[in-house]
Amino acid sequence: MSWREFARNRDGLAYAVDGGLWLHRFSLDDVPMAHLVSGDREALLAWGRGAGLDPRWLQYKPLRDPRTGERRPAWHWDLWGERIPPRGGGDSTAG
C-alpha cells in the first residue's frame, strides 16, 4: 500500500481515519520529520516491515475525524532523516 500526501491536513486526516496511509511532513526545531498515519494498523505495520522499522516503534494516538468530530483509533510512525520517503515517492495530491 502506498502513502499519500495532501495539501490540507483535514483531507489527510479523513483519508487516514478511513484506513489510508497519510504522510504528513513537518519540522521540529528546523529538523525535517514526518508522521505516516493511518487507522489501519496492519497496513502501517506492513509498510514498516518494508522500511525496516521495529514494530515496537508504532505509536497509537486516536484522531478526531474532521467530518464528524468523533475520535477514531489511529496509529503513526515517527520518521526523520533517511527514513522520510522522498517527495513524489507516494501519491501527492492537492487534496
The one-letter code for the residue type at 43 is A
Domain of 38, in residue numbers: 4-81
Q: Is residue 52 part of a domain?
A: yes
Residue 90 is assigned to a structural domain of this protein: no
Q: At 73, is the pLDDT very low, low, confident or very high (cuts 50, 70, 90)?
A: very high
pTM of the entire predicted model? 0.87
The answer as to whether 93 is a domain residue is no
Count of the separate structural domains present in the chain = 1
The pair phi, psi for residue 22, each rounded to 5°, is -105, 120
Could you read off the pLDDT of 13-25 as tens digits, one per residue? 999 999 999 999 9
| Residue 23 CB neighbour total at 10 angstroms | 24
Kindly state whether residue 89 falls inside one of the protein's structural domains. no
Is residue 95 a part of any domain in this protein? Answer: no
β-bridge pairing 4-6 and 91-93: parallel
Average pLDDT for 32-53: 96
Q: Does the residue 86 lie in any domain? A: no
